[in-house]
Structure 1
Amino acid sequence: MNIAARTLQDYFSDPRHAATLKLGSGALAFALVAGLVWVAVMQGGTRLATPMGQALAGSGVAALATALGALPALFIQKISARWEDVMLGFGAGVMAAAACFSLILPGVAAGTDILGSRPAGAALVAAGLVLGALFLLLADKAVPHEHPSAGRHGPDWMHLRRVWLMVFAIALHNFPEGMAIGVGFSGGDASVGVPLTAAIAIQDIPEGLVVAVALRTVAYAPWQAAAAGALTGLAEPLGAIVSVALTSGFAPLYPAGLGFAAGAMIWVVSHEIIPETHRKGHEQAATLGLIGGFVVMMMLDTALG
Structure 2
Amino acid sequence: MRGPRPARSAREWLGLAIVAAGAVVVVAHFWRFVTADPVVWNAFLGGSVAAFATALGTTPVIFSQRLPDRVQDTLFGFGAGVMLAACAFSLIIPGLAAAKSIGVFGGGDWAAGGVIGGAILLGGIALMVMDRVLPHEHFIKGREGQAARQIRRTWLFVFAIALHNVPEGLAIGVGYAANNGLRADALATGIAIQDVPEGLVVAVALLAAGYSRTFAVLIGMASGLVEPLGAVLGAAVVGHSAMLLPWGLGFAAGAMLFVISHEIIPESHRKGHEAFATGGLMVGFVLMMLLDTALG
Shorter-chain TM-score range: 0.7 to 0.9
SS in structure 1 at match of 2:271: coil
Deviation track 1:235-278 (CA, whole Å, cap 9, x = no partner) reads: 21222233234322222210111010011111111111212222
Asked if 1:261 is matched to 2:240, the reply is: no
In the alignment, does 2:156 pair up with 1:160? no
Taking a change above 3 Å as real, the CA distance of residues 300 and 76 of structure 1, as seen in their structure-2 partners, is farther
RMSD, aligned α-carbons: 2.8
2:194 to 191, 194, 203: 203
Partners of 2:5 and 2:293 lie apart in 1 by 59
Q: Residue 133 of structure 2 aligns with which residue?
A: 142
Cα distance in 2, alignment partners of residues 139 and 176 from structure 1: 11
Question: Residue 110 of structure 1 corresponds to which residue in structure 2?
Answer: 98
1:300, CA displacement in angstroms?
2.5
> Equivalents in 1 of 2:53, 2:108: separation in Å?
39
CA contact (8 A) 2:60 2:66 kept: no
How many residues are treated as equivalent by the alignment? 260
User: CA contact under 8 A between 1:77 and 1:216: conserved in structure 2?
Assistant: no
Q: Does 1:52 align with 2:40?
A: yes
The equivalent of 1:67 in structure 2 is 55
Equivalent residues in 2 for 1:87-236 (5 A)? 87-115=75-103, 116-144=107-135, 158-161=137-140, 162=151, 164-187=155-178, 189-236=180-227
Cα gap change, 1:160/1:128 in structure 2, threshold over 3 Å: closer, same or farther?
same
Q: Deviations over 1:164-210 (max 9, x none)?
A: 54431211121110010111122363244222112111221222222
Moved more, 168-177 or 236-245: 236-245
Distance 1:281 1:247, change over 3 A: same
User: Which protein is bigger by CA-based radius of gyration?
Assistant: 2
> What amino acid is aligned across from residue 82 of structure 1 in structure 2?
R
| Superposed displacement of residue 6, structure 1 | 4.3
Query: CA 1:207 to 1:295, structure 2 compared with 1: closer, same or farther past 3 Å?
Result: farther
SS in 2 for 1:66: helix
Unaligned runs of 5+ in 1: 9-28, 145-154
Q: 2:223 aligns to what SS in structure 1?
A: helix
- The normalised TM-score by structure 2 is 0.78
Moved more, 254-263 or 88-97: 88-97
Task: State how far apart, in whole Å, the 1-side matches of 2:44 and 2:162 are.
Answer: 17
Q: Match for 2:36: what amino acid?
A: R
Q: Distance in 2 between matches of 1:118 and 1:237?
A: 34
- Tell me, in whole angstroms, the C-alpha distance in 1 between the residues paired with 2:6 and 2:89: 58
Is it true that 1:244 corresponds to 2:235 in the alignment? yes
Q: Equivalent of 2:270, from 279, 282, 298?
A: 279
Percent identical across equivalent pairs?
A: 50
**In structure 2, what is the Cα distance between the partners aligned to 1:56 and 1:175?**
13
- Read off the aligned partner of 1:160 and give its amino acid letter: F
User: TM-score, normalization: structure 1?
Assistant: 0.76
> Aligned equivalents of 2:85 and 2:288: distance in 1?
6
**Aligned-residue offset at 1:89:** 1.2
For residues 110 and 192 of structure 1, do their structure 2 counterparts lie closer, same or farther at Cα, with a shift above 3 Å needed? farther
Is the 8 Å Cα contact of residues 177 and 235 (structure 2) preserved in structure 1? yes
Q: In structure 1, what is the Cα distance between the partners aligned to 2:235 and 2:85? A: 22
Asked whether 1:295 is paired with 2:286, we answer yes
CA contact (8 A) 2:168 2:256 kept: yes
The answer to which of 235-244 and 160-169 deviates more is: 160-169
Are residues 1:85 and 2:73 paired? yes
User: Which runs of no fewer than 5 residues in structure 2 stay unpaired?
Assistant: 9-22, 141-150
Deviation, structure 1 residue 85:
1.6
Amino acid aligned to 2:275: Q
SS of the residue aligned with 2:240? coil
Which residue pairs with 1:20 in the alignment? none
Q: Measure the CA separation in 2 of the matches of 1:242 and 1:166.
A: 25
Q: Counterpart amino acid of 1:47?
A: A
